[in-house]
Amino acid sequence: MDLEYLLGCVFFASWLGSLMWVTFTTPLALCLLPNRWALAYLAILWGTLVIPLDRPISRWGRHFMTLSIKAAYRRHKVQVTYEDKAALTPGRPYIVGYEPHSVLPFALQTVFCDLAPARAPGFKDMRILATTAGFYVPLLRHIWWWLGTRSADRKSMSAILAAGGTAVLIPGGVQECGYLEQGKETVFLKSRKGFVRMALQHGAPLVPVFCFGQTRMLSFRHLGPPLMPRAAVKNFARMIGVLPMVVWGWLQVM
């Protein structure tokens, strides 16, 4: 097991593992209350929500994140193909429409991040737009912020484009997850037109991106027919900002 492999694992564990850690340890600690150790753990974990997001990452932290992203990029043999690379001229805002969402959009941070080794030369100050719910999860919120992730709302997107940056989003968003089928590529675009209006308002070219192979990395089960009507799943996911899933297949990630 070499250093590159370990760093690649650390990269995915840092944001995927942090979510899983909070998801499983919080209910466990609640069940152990009023145990003082459980109370202390909950206080420390959820107390991190008050730490400001805009605190700059340390130099060693930035260096470590850069090495981890590079290792993950090589480990999974990510290849980037451009239809017209010369058209990505510097000095203007862009909107990148990335699909599919899949269970988790693993390739986003390995390509569309200012720390990524394969970032396109025409993109400036790349910011990935993600569900606001993620910024209410301890640990994960700071990792997302350091990787250049911001809340997927109109105000954040407008600020990025107005500053001449690149907004990277998944048009299908959380709702797309409700239509996922094992072994099939699913893209939910029919009613997603808001990002097109934003592009017109800011004069930002749209850059379509499709990630092949990402869908096969994890297996899953999610709420839906016949246990729950699709409309109810859609409303529930929209309300909480995520679609609860049972996910397995971590060896594909590592």
pLDDT per position in the chain (254 positions), as tens?
Answer: 567 667 666 766 776 778 888 988 999 999 999 999 999 999 999 999 999 988 878 788 788 788 778 877 777 788 888 888 888 888 899 999 999 988 888 888 888 888 887 777 788 889 999 988 889 999 889 888 988 899 989 999 999 999 999 999 999 888 888 888 888 888 888 888 889 999 999 999 999 999 988 888 777 877 777 677 777 877 887 778 887 777 777 545 54
Per the DSSP assignment, residues forming a β-bridge with 166 are 94, 126
Q: Is there a domain that residue 67 lies in?
A: yes
How many C-beta neighbours within 10 Å does residue 107 have?
A: 23
pTM: 0.85
Q: Is there a domain that residue 82 lies in?
A: no
Select from 99, 103, 85, 77 the least CA-distant residue to 210: 99
Q: Is there a domain that residue 158 lies in?
A: yes
pLDDT of residue 111: 87
Q: Specify the number of domains making up the chain.
A: 1
pLDDT of residue 254: 47
Q: Is there a domain that residue 226 lies in?
A: yes
Q: Is there a domain that residue 163 lies in?
A: yes
pLDDT of residue 5: 67
Question: Domain span at residue 245?
Answer: 3-77+88-253
d(CA 119, CA 116): 6
pLDDT of residue 232: 81
Measure the CA angle with vertex 69, ends 68 and 75; round to 5°.
Answer: 85
pLDDT of residue 98: 94
Q: Is there a domain that residue 11 lies in?
A: yes
pLDDT of residue 171: 92
Q: Is there a domain that residue 222 lies in?
A: yes
Q: Is there a domain that residue 129 lies in?
A: yes
